[in-house]
Amino acid sequence: MWEELLAAIRKGHIKSLARSISLVENEVAGYEWLMQQLPAVSDTRIIGITGPPGAGKSTLVDALIGEMVAQNQKVAVLCVDPSSPFNLGALLGDRIRMSEWYNHPSVFIRSLATRGSLGGLHPRIIEIADLVKAAGFDQVIIETVGVGQSEIEIAGLADTTVVVMVPEAGDEVQTMKAGLMEIADIFVVNKADRPDADSFVRNLRLMLAPAFHRTTHEIAIVKTVASQKEGVKELFAKIQAHQQLVQGNDKKYWLLAEKAYHLIQQRRMKDVNKSELKKQLEATTDTNLYQFIKRYLA
C-alpha cells in the first residue's frame, strides 16, 4: 500500500495525497516509512499566513490563490482550524471563501484541526507539508488559527511568514509587538480602505525601524483590500522577492534545524499519554508533581 501511495504522490495524484495526509494525521502504522522515502524537494516554497482572527486571512488566501493560478503555478493550501473538543475535527471545516477553487486542477485545499496542539498548528503539520511538497506544487500556503503561539510557531515552518493586520489593531500590535517583529517577513495591512489605514501603516513603519538594524533586508508592508483583490499582485511580488532572498541566506538551515528539533521532540514524547498521566495522578494522593515526573525523565 505505502509503495503505491508514494509512487502516486510523486506523480501528483491528488486522491492519493489526500489519503496519505489522513493516514499521517492518524499515525497509521507505516507512515514513518512513507516519510523517510519522500524525495528532497528544494523548489517548493512554504508561505505562512498568520495574524489575529478577523483580519481577513482566508479572503487574502483566496485572492493569493487567484494570483498564483494566473501565473500558471500549482498551489496547495493547508488551513489549520480550531478543533472540536469532542471529536478533534476542524470546527470551521472547508473554507467557504475558497469554494471556487476546490475543483480547480492546479489547486489543492485541505482543512486541518489543531487537535489540541498548544501552538495552534496541527501536530503533524511538518509531515503533511512535506507530503504536499512531494506532490509537485510550486507554492504551499499554511493559514494558521491566528491565536496563541501560532504566530510564532509558523516562523519555524515557513520560508516566508506573512502577518496580516487590520487598521483597528493598534493596541494589538503593541501587545504582540515583540513576537511579530521577530517572525514577520512581510506585513499586510488588510482592509486598507478603512479610515486610519495610512496612519496605521506609518505607525507600523516607526515600530519596525529598530528591527531594520537587525535584519539583512527591509520588512515589507503591503496594503490590501483582499475582498476587492486590491494589492494582492504587489503582495505576491513581495513574497516572490523574499523567497529568492531565503535561498541566499542561512534561514533555510535554521528552518531545517527547527523542523528536525520538533520531529525529535515528538518522537521522544510519543509514549507519554495525558489520559494515562491523569489516571496515575488520580490514583496518587498528596502528589509532588516534580517527584511524579522523575520516572519519565530517567
Structure confidence at residue 196 (pLDDT): 87
Please report the pLDDT score of residue 281 as a whole number: 87
Ranges of the chain whose pLDDT falls below 70: 82-98, 114-121, 146-153, 169-181, 210-216, 247-251
Per-residue pLDDT at 176: 56
156-197 confidence digits (pLDDT tens): 788 999 999 898 765 555 555 556 667 789 999 999 999 889
Q: At what angle do helices 251-268 and 125-134 cross, to 10 degrees?
A: 120
d(CA 112, CA 31): 18
- pLDDT at position 215, please? 59
178-184 contacts at long range (C-beta below 8 A, 24 or more positions apart) = 179/151, 179/152, 180/151, 181/207, 181/208, 181/211, 182/152, 182/155, 183/151, 183/152, 183/154, 183/155, 184/219
Residues of the chain within CATH 3.40.50.300 domain(s) are: 39-249
39-249: CATH architecture: 3-Layer(aba) Sandwich (3.40)
